[in-house]
Amino acid sequence: MEKAKTKGKGLRAWLLSSTQDQARDTGMAMVLICLIATYWWQLPRFLPLAIILLLLTMAVPQVFRPLAVLWFGLSHIMGNLVSKVVLSVIFFVLVTPIGLIRRWAGKDSLQLGKWKKDRGSVFVAREGVILPEDLNNPY
């Protein structure tokens, strides 16, 4: 769903901006939700609804287009939010403590202590002949 397509075209264009595949997928998700409610919570009244939704999904998937816009829009927002939260947690739980431990241990892999202290470079020149195996595993 591209924003450029629907920008400035109004609510109707935004509601119809989903594809037929997305509408079909949304209909199938609604069927699955009804079947799960029937099985897990022992609610047999959702079984006829699941059958009706399945028939609608197979016959007229365009019915689910407005719901597909909301469904896929919500999934897009949640995907962006969750990825940022998970990556932030990983950074602060793993990378930050390792960096603090290395700093307390006096390690300076980037040679930041030498940087701009004099005219010399902090670049480490490699001595010897560089072999093809060295390029395969530079670390």
Residues 50-101 have pLDDT tens digits of: 999 999 999 999 999 989 988 888 888 899 999 999 999 999 999 999 999 9
> How far is CA 13 from each of CA 5, 32, 57, 81, rounded to the nearest angstrom?
9, 28, 21, 26
> Tokens standing for 92?
């602060």
pLDDT above 70: percentage of residues in the chain: 88
- Is residue 2 scored above 60 in pLDDT? no
* Residue 16's pLDDT band (cuts 50, 70, 90): low
Helices (H), 41-122: 46-59, 65-90, 96-104
pLDDT, position 110: 79
Report pTM. 0.54
pLDDT, position 1: 44
Angle between helix axes 65-90 and 20-40 (nearest 10 degrees) is 80
